[in-house]
């Protein structure tokens, strides 16, 4: 995905990072969240629906309508439109999928931030398990459905939460992959009988994207059951597999020029 000039300015220049630091200050993030949860923000919904050609009949509408734009953004799809398939690995969300092989030098660009695997997980030992494996990166745009499911079955670890940070505007010395921002993210490890160790991670948008995960029942992940949702902001889900996999052939036929593959929540990938 090609970055816009404004994104390159914000993330790749010192003046841009100064602006970015101001934009992502906690007070600004709280102000943005307050505005999106305000009743007046609901006035934006009809424009957003029309602009993005969203079929509102597919979603559960609260009695009296959506209170705010954020409530609309977190809308829940009606059961009859949630089509799931049998598979050992299913798409956790609607989005655009990129498949990457993982090796010792792998660097992942997630929402304009660069991570090696150890930085992404904040766990060196866990990161080593996935060298030689596969990363599935699902990019959600603001127009996608922002609720997501478990991608596999199996006993799951406790949830690991990593708070987002914004580094100083000076380059960071002695870093293999210098970064200036880190998005908030949460992940669990799932022990799949057929796929081994699987990590499912949610990554929030830097400014206002909030991750809201449901409580895990009986410590077991159940494929194609809802795991949680994102609040406003384009977001990302990452699935890490500890070995190489070959996805279903039908997916390759949809691959776009930029390498992304459109997928739907509950769709079988393996």
Any idea which residues carry the catalytic annotation?
94, 235
Phi, psi of 201 (to 5 degrees): -120, 135
Count Cβ atoms within 10 A of the Cβ of residue 102 and give its class: 0-12 exposed, 13-18 middle, 19 or more buried. buried
- Cα–Cα nearest to 73, from 49, 109, 103: 49
Rounded CA separation 236/239 (Å): 10
185 in Cβ contact with 210 (< 8 Å): no
Residue 77 neighbours by CB distance under 10 Å: 14
CA 212 to chain centre: 12
> How far are the Cα atoms of 50, 164, 270 from residue 161, in angstroms, in the given order?
36, 10, 28
Rounded CA separation 227/242 (Å): 22
Rounded-to-10 torsion of CA 57, 59, 65, 70: -130
């Amino acid at each position: 995905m090609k970055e816009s000039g404004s994104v390159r300015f914000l993330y790749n220049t010192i003046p841009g990072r100064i602006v970015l630091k101001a934009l992502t200050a906690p007070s600004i993030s709280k102000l943005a969240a307050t505005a999106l949860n305000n009743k007046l923000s609901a006035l934006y919904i009809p424009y957003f629906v029309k602009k993005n050609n969203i079929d509102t009949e597919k979603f559960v509408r609260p009695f009296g309508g959506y209170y705010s734009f954020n409530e609309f953004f977190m809308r829940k799809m009606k059961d009859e439109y949630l089509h799931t398939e049998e598979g050992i690995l299913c798409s956790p969300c609607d989005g655009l999928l990129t498949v990457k092989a993982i090796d010792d030098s792998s660097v992942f660009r997630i929402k304009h931030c660069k991570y090696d695997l150890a930085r992404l997980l904040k766990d060196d030992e866990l990161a080593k398990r996935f060298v030689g494996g596969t990363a599935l990166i699902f990019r959600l745009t603001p127009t996608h459905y922002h609720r997501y499911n478990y991608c596999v079955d199996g006993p799951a670890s406790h949830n690991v939460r990593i708070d987002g940070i914004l580094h100083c505007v000076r380059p960071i010395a002695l870093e293999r992959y210098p970064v200036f921002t880190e998005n908030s993210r949460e992940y669990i490890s799932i022990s799949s009988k057929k796929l081994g160790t699987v990590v499912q991670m949610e990554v929030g948008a830097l400014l206002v994207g909030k991750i809201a995960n449901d409580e895990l029942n009986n410590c077991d992940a159940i494929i194609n059951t809802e795991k949680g949702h994102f609040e406003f902001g384009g977001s990302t889900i990452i699935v890490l597999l500890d070995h190489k996999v070959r996805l279903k052939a039908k997916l390759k036929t949809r691959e776009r020029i930029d390498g992304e593959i459109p997928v739907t929540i509950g769709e079988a990938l393996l």
